[in-house]
Structures are given as C-alpha cells and as structure tokens.
C-alpha cells in the first residue's frame, strides 16, 4: 500500500510539473482568440497525466532526467487532450462532462472543439520537432514516428472508430480486447517505449518496455470500464454508467465484473514480469502497475 501512496504523490508531482510546462507553452497575447481559449480551457486541467508520467519515469530509468524528457511528456498530454476533445463530440461519445468541467464543445461550440483538437495534435508534432527537444535529430524522428503510428488509423483513432461501431453489438472477447488495445494500449505502450528511445537502449529492452505498456494499457482500459460501473462520478470527473447505458462494448459487459477483475490482474502481473527483465531500477514503473491494479480491483 505504501508503494501506491508513493506513486500517488510522484504522479501528482509529475502532473503539476507537466501542467506548468503546458500552461507556459500556451501563454499568448491573443486573449480574445476563441480557438486559443478552447485549447487552453481543455489543457489547463490535464488530469492524472499518466502518459506523461510513463514518458518521464521510463526515461529516468535509463538516466535521462526530467528536464530533458519534459517537452516530450507535455506533447503526449497534448495528444491525449486532443483525443478526449474529439471523443467527447456529439457525433462521437457525446459527453458533457470531462475532468470535472463541461466538455470543450459544451463551452465553445463544436467547431471550436474540432479545431482545438486538430490544433493540439498539430502542436504536439510542432513541439516534438522543435529545438526545445534536446536530443539528436534521429532520436526526435524516432519519437515522432513511434507516436504517430500509435495514435493513427491502426492505433488510437482506429480503436475509437471500433468503439463507436461496436456499440450495441454482440461481440467476442477477442474483438473487445483488440478494440481496447488500439484505443488505449498502443499509445500507452509508445509512451513507455519513448523512455528507451531517449535512453538509447537495445531492441530487446525496447520490446520489454513495449510489452509492459501494452499489458498495462489494456489493464488500465479494463479498470476504467470497471470504474464506469463501480466508481464515483465526482472522483472520476466524468459521467459514469454512461458507457453501459450506451451499449458500449466492454469486457465487463461481456464477462462480468469478477472475471474482468481477474483479467486485469493477470495483465498487471504480465506487465510486472516484463518490466523485471530490464537491467535497471524499474521500481517506479512496477509500483505504477500496482497503482493501476489498486484503482479498483481490491
């Protein structure tokens, strides 16, 4: 339990540092610019910043300090925020509350929300290719390419499409797992892999990081679906039991709460097995896996 408390405070610390970085990045004089208002509105509260945490901690393991990985950590949160803004749109999940506030389109209208998402995605690639990133050009390109692959049509965007298409359908467990991998796990795995890329590790180590991230990301999505049933709306900062009502395809819906918890725990165990192969102090990443498990599995 103390491991989880430690991770909780480390997560909060990382989150606050990333938030400050993003706030400074988005400072501008155009205070009456509606698009920038919408962008800032959705970026001012980056949530738990789990993806930034994974970038920063996986980098630290290989001797890359936080000051250097910070702009990349900020970029992945910009990408995550873009995906949430678009997912919340009426034509997508039609959500009205996100991170405890009205969603972007509820505040600024759909056009501004679509463009705010587009702009945040673009800004992430602008930042990743800028001189603010203090790594070799080769390393920067590998990071850009790894992220782009993880969030595109064969990754996050593809998963979000399946999530919508699967609504109300009778599906096999494999379909649900495939959708969740694309929607959530590829991006999380890319964040973990980035630490290895920045630290110039060998291919085998990159593969351990990726496997850890895939298992962790899939477990995270399952615990998210469990929270949708068992969780507290105020704590979650979004409407719950909505996925269930919308007929969303989740593992919980398919195999029930108990078996879903068992599956999530198996995935957490798998993530822990993978990370243990690394020849370095992996304690923050293993503790983070315990933290995900303890969100609601016990």
Applying CB under 8 A, the residues found at the interface with its own copies are 33-36, 39, 82, 86, 89, 91-92, 109-112, 114-115, 117-119, 121-123, 125-126, 128-130, 136-138, 140-142, 144-145, 148-149, 151-153, 157-158, 160-161, 164-165
Tell me whether residue 194 or residue 271 sits nearer to its own copies (CB atom).
194
CB of 185 to its own copies, least distance (A): 17
CB of 173 to its own copies, least distance (A): 20
CB of 289 to its own copies, least distance (A): 28
Tell me whether residue 123 or residue 275 sits nearer to its own copies (CB atom).
123
Could you count the other beta carbons within 10 Å of the beta carbon of residue 145? 12
CB of 290 to its own copies, least distance (A): 33
Tell me whether residue 163 or residue 228 sits nearer to its own copies (CB atom).
163
Q: Give the whole-angstrom CA distance, residue 93 versus residue 42.
A: 17
CB of 134 to its own copies, least distance (A): 13
Q: Give the whole-angstrom CA distance, residue 149 versus residue 134.
A: 22
Tell me whether residue 113 or residue 267 sits nearer to its own copies (CB atom).
113
Sorted by sequence, the CB contacts under 8 Å of residue 24 that are 6+ apart come out as none
């Amino acid at each position: 339990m103390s491991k989880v408390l430690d991770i909780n405070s480390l997560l909060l610390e990382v989150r606050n540092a990333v938030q400050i970085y993003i706030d400074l990045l988005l400072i501008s004089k155009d205070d009456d610019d509606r698009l920038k208002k919408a962008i800032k509105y959705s970026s001012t509260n980056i949530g738990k910043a789990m993806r930034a945490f994974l970038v920063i901690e996986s980098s630290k393991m290989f001797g890359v300090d936080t000051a250097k990985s910070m702009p990349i950590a900020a970029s992945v949160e910009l990408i995550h925020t873009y995906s949430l803004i678009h997912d919340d749109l009426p034509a997508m999940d039609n959500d009205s509350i996100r991170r405890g506030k009205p969603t972007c389109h509820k505040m600024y209208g759909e056009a501004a929300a679509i463009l705010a998402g587009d702009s945040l995605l673009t800004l992430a690639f602008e930042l990743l290719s800028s001189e603010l990133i203090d790594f070799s050009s080769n390393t920067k390109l590998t990071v850009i390419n790894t992220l782009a692959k993880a969030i595109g049509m064969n990754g996050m965007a593809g998963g979000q499409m399946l999530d919508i298409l699967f609504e109300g359908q009778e599906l096999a467990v494999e379909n649900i797992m495939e959708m969740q991998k694309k929607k959530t796990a590829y991006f999380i795995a890319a964040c973990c892999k980035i630490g290895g890329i920045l630290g110039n590790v060998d291919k085998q180590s990159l593969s351990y990081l990726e496997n850890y991230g895939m298992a962790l990301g899939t477990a995270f999505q399952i615990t998210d679906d469990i929270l949708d049933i068992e969780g507290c709306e105020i704590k979650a900062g979004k409407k719950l039991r909505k996925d269930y009502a919308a007929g969303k395809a989740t593992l919980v819906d398919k195999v029930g709460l108990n078996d879903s918890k068992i599956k999530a725990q198996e995935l957490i165990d798998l993530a822990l097995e993978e990370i243990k192969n690394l020849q370095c102090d992996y304690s923050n990443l293993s503790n983070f896996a315990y933290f995900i498990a303890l969100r609601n599995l016990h």
